[in-house]
Amino acid sequence: MTAVYLTRVDKDRNMARYYVMSVQPTLFGEWSVVREWGRIGRGGQVRLGNYRDPDDAKAAIANLQQSKIRRGYSAAR
């Protein structure tokens, strides 16, 4: 699965944020959802979430993506 890259830019509020999510296999047969977020052009924070099934990990990304879209993020251009 390819990474999902979302951005939220609001020049009036000096806001330029990004949010990246991807699913990657671990060495132990599980799957990780890797999330990174921060200000565009800077290093951000990273968080991992482990899942036993790749379908569960993909569902988690879909839920996170919908949540971020509701908060004003959109697909990067």
Give domain limits for the chain. Answer: 4-75
How much is the pLDDT for 1? 57
- Cβ-proximal residues to 16 (8 Å cutoff; 6+ apart), any chain: 7, 8, 9, 39, 40, 41
What is the pLDDT of the chain when averaged over all its residues?
A: 93
Percent of the chain clearing pLDDT 70 (strictly above): 96
pLDDT (mean) for 11-30: 95
Q: Which option is the CATH number for 4-75: 3.90.960.10, 2.20.140.10, 3.10.290.10, 2.40.420.20?
A: 2.20.140.10
Which stretches of 1-77 are DSSP H helices?
54-70
pLDDT tens digit sequence for 25-40: 999 999 999 999 999 9
| Residues 9 and 72: beta-carbon distance below 8 Å | no
Single pTM value for the model: 0.87
